[in-house]
């Protein structure tokens, strides 16, 4: 068997099924998939099947079924229109005999494209290397806080206690239909409260003074506003005694201090 025959054998075995073979033939003939020339396609298809048999390659049943389908469509395309109508009512008047085959090819083409994208994603993922879990116990050592500093656990505990207190204090009717403020608006409200007390630059405001509405949305919004102001270095949390009340203190800019 010469090199050309070997090459043909590999090419024939590379098709995943009859639809794959048909798409290949359509591409080779450079024709529109919506206007398949059935005579040429059928002839080329049977040529491939004959070559497979000559090379003693197994021809699967789905290839033979497609061959029969192509012959039927080819014959209907060649018959005069009136003869098709008289023969049977399998095709409605004006229906293209190739329509079902075209739909199958389009669906198969979409599946091929999806498979190609998934394969590319798999290859890209293969370029990443995972790291085995590391022992982080050495990084979990507790760092002592300076006097007056507040830990994240203290803040969470303060919010939980304050929320439970508000729920007990406020009647249900007072907790309904409250108009919630945005984080940005709440940040402005917090700074305005400090502005009203600006004469005492070292003034502190209790953490709980900013929670007057017993709704989860209000509590979360106010807490996020406080954290954002801390990040922007406009306020900070202090705690005079361990497990005592958490206070907010304003960080004034130099221009503000001169006023």
Enclosing domain of residue 105: 3-125
Q: Judge if 69 and 168 occupy the same domain.
A: no
Q: Judge if 253 and 204 occupy the same domain.
A: yes
Judged by phi (left if over 0) then psi (alpha if -120 to 50, else beta), residue 30 lies in: left
- CA dist list (Å): 125 to 14, 122, 168, 253: 26, 5, 53, 49
Q: Judge if 84 and 186 occupy the same domain.
A: no
Q: Judge if 57 and 160 occupy the same domain.
A: no
Q: Judge if 121 and 156 occupy the same domain.
A: no
Count of domains observed in the chain: 2
Largest CA distance in the chain: 102
- Compute the average pLDDT of residues 49-70: 75
Judged by phi (left if over 0) then psi (alpha if -120 to 50, else beta), residue 148 lies in: left
Token code pair at residue 253: 């800019």
Does residue 114 surpass a pLDDT of 80?
yes
Tell me if 141 is assigned to some domain: no
Q: Is the dihedral of CA 175, 179, 185, 188 positive or negative?
A: negative
Supply φ then ψ for residue 106, to 5 degrees: -65, -40
- Of 74, 90, 125, the position where a domain reaches its end is 125
> pLDDT at position 200, please?
54
pTM as predicted: 0.39
Q: Judge if 118 and 188 occupy the same domain.
A: no
Q: What is the CATH number of the domain that holds 196?
A: 1.10.10.580
Does residue 174 surpass a pLDDT of 50?
no
Read off the pLDDT of residues 28-47 as tens digits, 9 standing for 90 and up: 878 787 888 888 888 888 88
Q: Judge if 105 and 162 occupy the same domain.
A: no
Q: Judge if 119 and 163 occupy the same domain.
A: no
Supply φ then ψ for residue 51, to 5 degrees: -65, -40
If you average pLDDT over every residue of the chain, what do you get?
73
> pLDDT at position 84, please?
47
What is the spatial distance between Cα 2 and Cα 53, in angstroms, rounded to a whole number? 17
């Amino acid at each position: 068997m010469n090199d050309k025959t070997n090459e043909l054998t590999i090419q024939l075995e590379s098709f995943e099924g009859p639809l794959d073979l048909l798409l290949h033939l359509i591409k080779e003939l450079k024709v529109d998939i919506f206007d398949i020339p059935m005579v040429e396609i059928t002839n080329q298809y049977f040529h491939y099947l004959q070559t497979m048999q000559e090379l003693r390659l197994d021809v699967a049943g789905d290839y033979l079924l497609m061959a029969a389908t192509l012959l039927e469509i080819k014959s209907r395309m060649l018959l005069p229109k009136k003869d098709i109508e008289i023969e049977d009512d399998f095709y409605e008047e004006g229906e293209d005999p190739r329509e079902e085959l075209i739909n199958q090819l389009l669906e198969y083409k979409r599946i091929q494209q999806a498979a190609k994208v998934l394969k590319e994603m798999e290859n890209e993922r293969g370029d990443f290397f995972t790291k085995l879990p590391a022992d982080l116990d050495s990084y979990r050592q507790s760092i002592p806080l300076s006097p007056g500093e507040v830990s994240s656990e203290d803040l969470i505990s303060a919010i939980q206690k304050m929320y439970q207190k508000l729920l007990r204090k406020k009647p249900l009717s007072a907790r309904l239909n409250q108009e919630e403020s945005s984080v940005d608006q709440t940040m402005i409200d917090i700074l305005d409260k400090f502005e009203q007390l600006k004469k005492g630059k070292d003034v502190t405001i209790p953490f709980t003074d900013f929670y007057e509405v017993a709704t989860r949305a209000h509590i979360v919004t106010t807490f996020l506003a406080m954290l954002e102001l801390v990040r922007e270095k406009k306020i900070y949390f202090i705690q005079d005694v361990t497990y005592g009340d958490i206070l907010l203190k304003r960080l004034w800019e130099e221009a503000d201090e001169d006023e």
